[in-house]
Amino acid sequence: MRLNYLLYAIGLVIKYVGFMMLAPILVAIYYHDISSVVPFLIVGIISIILGMSIKNIRLSESRVENLNDIKKSEALFIVAISWVLFALIAAIPYTFYGIGPLNAIFESVSSITTTGASILTHYDYPKAMFFWRSFTQWLGGMGIIVLFVAVLPQFAVAGRQMFFAEAPGPTEEKLSPRIRSTASALWVIYAGLTLLAIILLSWAGMPKFDAVCNAMSTLAAGGFSPNAESTMGYHSNAITWITTVFMFLAGANFILQLRVIKQKNPFVLFKNEEFRVYTCITLLLSGVVAGALYLQDNYKAFDAITAGMYQVISFITSTGSACVDYAQWSFSAKLLLFIAMFTGSCAGSAGGGIKMTRWILVFKSMKSELFRILHPNAITNIKIDNNIVQPEIIRQIVVFVFFYFFIFFVSSVVISLVEQDAVIGLTGSIATLGDCGPGFGQIGPMGNFNSIHSISKIFFIINMLVGRLELIPFLVLFQRDFWSIKQN
């Protein structure tokens, strides 16, 4: 890796994260909360100066003007470090509101990774802070690198490597030969859906500020809300169903949604195998949970369908918001929600988890292996959407799933021992690794992560970052060859 390139790219990221502080400053000014201008102004100025200084460091005679010939290893490193630095910078404003350093980092990481797990014990904070929580979730939902690829000319050519380093998946699907055009188009539909959600939530009676924050968090599949009781706190079926629809869209492939808009044909969605599986699993789990609520929890039919579908979609898409206190549900309903945490949303979406495409290919691979046991001489190809998936892709997915469950197992054991509570260990580990947000018990929808041990918080912070980066940049950091550093 070339150190000059790394410093140049990281400096750019830090600099423009500083400029993002302008948004909560404007909110503070709008609500005449001058005291809230100070935290974001100080952190913004420091970030801009620090970023410009790092960007202009020259360790050799060669000067980096762009990142056109960036290598894949460099892209992976830049993405991983950028997310860590973004989390640290975003955490600083929280400390101005009396939140301790570790809790501030936890809240920040939960925001940018769109996890939605919170340490807040009360909601008596200024609007600028709540806006910052939702705004950083919104930025993290599509990805800060994807944003920079879309708007910064320095990333115009190098964007492909970093685009797929930030949002890895089984296939490298794109809409145009220029990755910058794809990134820009993705942000347009992302922003457009967010604006539509704001309008509909406001129409349904949600306060304007809350509508903005909830819309950003929902499209990011993040779940943070300025209301202490999440969606449940608004006591509106209309708001619940509007949020349900936009959570579902947040968990669907945005490139696929762009194709629907370009072709003006909604049936394009159902030509995609992953979307069909995503829809079927969502409806199936929602129906079973609704049935459990109706039969075991004495819900009325409509309320059972509403709560069942909302919470299943919330967990499948890793949004983690709540329209009811599902911690009070029967064991059967809670078990089904726990299973939903492992499914994941579609590749190319704002949601987290293993992703539906990977599960499809894992099960097709298992089916293929069983077939070969019965027919040793048979030649089989694994396909998705009638496209043959190369064996190396299948191997990568199998390794991914193995490491995913290995990290979940280690985290669950450690947290359970530290907390002396298996519920926190199991549900907290998958909730943070899958970026789902709340778990069950003490860390349920009406609880928080504030009182858990510091060691547990550190593990959960690592889980959230690893889950958002989908393991690949994280695992690469442990390769010795990866750390071969050159000045240029």
Instruction: Compute the distance between CA of residue 321 and CA of residue 235 in angstroms, rounded to an integer.
Output: 14
Closest to 114 in 3D by CA, of 427, 419, 470, 426 = 470
pLDDT band at 123 (very low <50, low <70, confident <90, very high): very high
pLDDT band at 486 (very low <50, low <70, confident <90, very high): low
Concatenated DSSP letters of 181-205? HHHHHHHHHHHHHHHHHHHHHHHTT
Report the share of the chain in percent with pLDDT over 70: 85
Instruction: Compute the distance between CA of residue 281 and CA of residue 275 in angstroms, rounded to an integer.
Output: 10
Instruction: Compute the distance between CA of residue 204 and CA of residue 194 in angstroms, rounded to an integer.
Output: 15
| pLDDT > 90? residue 485 | no
List own/partner pairs for 269-276 with CB under 8 A and 24 or more apart: 271/385, 272/385, 273/360, 273/384, 273/385, 274/346, 274/347, 274/356, 274/357, 274/360, 274/384, 274/385, 275/346
pLDDT band at 174 (very low <50, low <70, confident <90, very high): very low
| Three-point CA angle 160, 354, 323, nearest 5° | 110
Element (H, E) at 383: strand 383-384
Cβ distance 231 to 240 under 8 Å? yes
pLDDT tens per residue across span 431-449:
999 988 898 988 988 889 9
Instruction: Compute the distance between CA of residue 199 and CA of residue 243 in angstroms, rounded to an integer.
Output: 12
pLDDT tens per residue across span 272-314:
899 999 999 999 999 999 999 999 999 999 999 999 999 999 9
Mean pLDDT taken over the chain: 85
CA separation (Å) from 102 to 12, 47, 98, 449? Answer: 26, 20, 12, 12
Phi and psi based region of residue 389 (left: phi greater than 0; alpha: psi -120 to 50; beta: remaining): beta
Q: Looking at per-residue confidence, does 174 or 258 come out higher?
A: 258
125: Cβ–Cβ under 8 A, 6 or more apart, which residues? 97
Q: Looking at per-residue confidence, does 210 or 54 come out higher?
A: 210
Q: How many helices (H) and strands (E) does the chain have?
A: 20, 2
134: Cβ–Cβ under 8 A, 6 or more apart, which residues? 111, 212, 213, 214, 216, 217, 222, 224, 225, 226
DSSP symbol at 307:
H
Closest to 474 in 3D by CA, of 92, 165, 107 = 165
Q: Which residue has the tokens 């970052």?
A: 465
Residue 31, amino acid: Y
Q: Looking at per-residue confidence, does 198 or 400 come out higher?
A: 198
Pair of tokens at residue 327: 């911690």
pLDDT tens per residue across span 33-79:
999 999 999 999 999 999 888 877 765 555 555 566 667 677 777 77
Task: Provide the pLDDT for residue 378.
Answer: 76
